[in-house]
Amino acid sequence: MSDGLELAGLRLVHNAGRADEVVALRRIDLTVRPAEFVTVVGSNGAGKSSLLQALSGAVRATAGTVRLGGRDITRWPAHRRASLIAYVVDDPRLGSAPDLSVEDNLALAMGRGRRRGLRPSRTAARRRTMRDRLARLGLGLENRLTDRVGLLSAGQRQSLTMVMAGLSAPRLLLLDEHLAALDPTTAARVLHLTTDLVSTVDCATIMVTHDMEHALRTGDRLLMMSDGRTVADLPRERKNGMSTQDLIDLMEHHGDRGVLPERA
Ligand SMILES: Nc1ncnc2c1ncn2[C@@H]1O[C@H](COP(=O)(O)OP(=O)(O)OP(=O)(O)O)[C@@H](O)[C@H]1O
């Protein structure tokens, strides 16, 4: 039994029993060690987001089990899983509360999983931690603690979301195309922040991306999905020797001829 993430026979059927039923995950068996960083690629509709949704609890798996940190969380609803799992999606507006200040958002993240409800602590020590984490972004956000988050740009918000994810000390970090809405320079900066965060927090991480370069050059291991299955599982030594074209060829080899976004 692992201390990280363990999936056994995970199956997800959207709209089960209806005419528009879709089998999004067929049978996923997967173990991710604590502190292991896995990137996931696959064409549109391969099941990547469904996998992350089933892990975060945003959707309920149809069958199979999910264990995290030695605990069976299969039946845990999303709000309970949030005490162990940070989930960052592509839309920078969804990771933070726009009407709350930068400070209040960070305080909520720090209190997550500790049953503090909505009463953020404003101690000097906490503020120092917040300022310190924000200063590392190089965006000047450490001087904007009282600003409403809704006033920030997309890149600033996604960077803030990543800081929030780090402060919540998750066991599992799920990143679903979290760089997709950012310009290339900001995406590179947030990716750097991501690798930094993963090595500091030491949590298991799954990052879905359509950027083949990011998938190859980031993390310890690369998973390829096609039609609701994992069709390749490449360790660091193997992926480091590959080019983006090799990766695209491998996807085609596995019968995945779905549309790849231009950036791939
Ligand atoms: N809420 C939903 N209701 C019905 N079907 C869904 C739902 N979400 C996803 N699907 C279907 O499940 C399959 C897998 O979709 P999913 O979004 O997981 O793929 P993906 O690999 O993340 O694709 P993309 O790269 O386009 O984001 C697709 O056939 C999709 O149409």
Residue 117 confidence (pLDDT): 46
Task: Count structural domains, the chain.
Answer: 1
Residue 211 confidence (pLDDT): 94
Q: Whose CA is nearest to atom 26 of ligand 1?
A: 44
Is the residue at 194 inside a domain? yes
Residue 256 confidence (pLDDT): 56
* Element at 200 (helix H, strand E): helix 184-201
Is the residue at 58 inside a domain? yes
Q: Which residues contact 182 (CB under 8 A, 6 or more apart)?
A: 92, 154, 155, 158, 190
| DSSP-assigned beta bridge partners for residue 7 | 30, 66
Is the residue at 164 inside a domain? no
Residue 72 confidence (pLDDT): 97
User: What's the CA angle centered on 107, arms 106 and 111, to 5 degrees?
Assistant: 120
Using CA atoms, how far apart are residues 110 and 164, in angstroms rounded to an integer? 7
Using CA atoms, how far apart are residues 36 and 205, in angstroms rounded to an integer? 6
Query: How far does the centroid of ligand 1 lie from the alpha carbon of residue 155, in Å?
Result: 25
Ligand 1 mutation target, pool 48, 176, 212, most atoms within 8 A of CB:
48
Q: Which two tokens stand for residue 117?
A: 């409800």
* CA of residue 118 relative to chain centroid, distance: 24
Is the residue at 98 inside a domain? no
Upper half-sphere CA count for residue 165 (Cβ side, 13 Å): 33
Percent of the chain, pLDDT > 90? 70
Residue 120 confidence (pLDDT): 53
Question: What CATH code is carried by the domain that includes residue 29?
Answer: 3.40.50.300
Containing structural domain, residue 46: 5-84+170-253
Q: Closest ligand 1 atom to the C-alpha of 59? A: 1
Q: Is this prediction's ipTM beyond 0.95?
A: yes
Is the residue at 261 inside a domain? no
Residue 186 confidence (pLDDT): 86
Query: How far does the centroid of ligand 1 lie from the alpha carbon of residue 14, in Å?
Result: 9
Is the residue at 93 inside a domain? no
Q: Closest ligand 1 atom to the C-alpha of 49? A: 22
154-167 and 102-111 helices cross at what angle (nearest 10)? 30
Q: Which residues contact 101 (CB under 8 A, 6 or more apart)?
A: 145, 146, 147, 148, 149
The string over 97-117, giving b where at least 16 C-beta atoms fall within 10 Å of a residue's C-beta and e elsewhere, is: eeebbbbbbbbbbbbbbeeee
Query: How far does the centroid of ligand 1 lie from the alpha carbon of residue 200, in Å?
Result: 32
Output the average pLDDT for the chain.
Answer: 89
pLDDT in tens, 69-93: 999 999 999 999 999 999 999 998 9
110: closest CA among 102, 14, 249? Answer: 102
| pLDDT tens-digit profile, the chain (264 residues) | 568 999 999 999 999 889 999 999 999 999 999 999 999 999 889 999 999 999 999 999 999 999 999 999 999 999 999 999 999 999 989 999 999 999 999 998 987 645 444 455 557 888 888 999 999 888 899 999 999 999 999 999 999 999 999 988 899 999 999 999 888 988 998 999 899 889 888 899 999 999 999 999 999 999 999 999 999 999 999 999 999 999 999 988 886 554 444 333
Amino acid at 146: T
Using CA atoms, how far apart are residues 32 and 232, in angstroms rounded to an integer? 15
Is the residue at 112 inside a domain? no
Residue 261 confidence (pLDDT): 42
Is the residue at 48 inside a domain? yes
Q: Whose CA is nearest to atom 1 of ligand 1?
A: 14
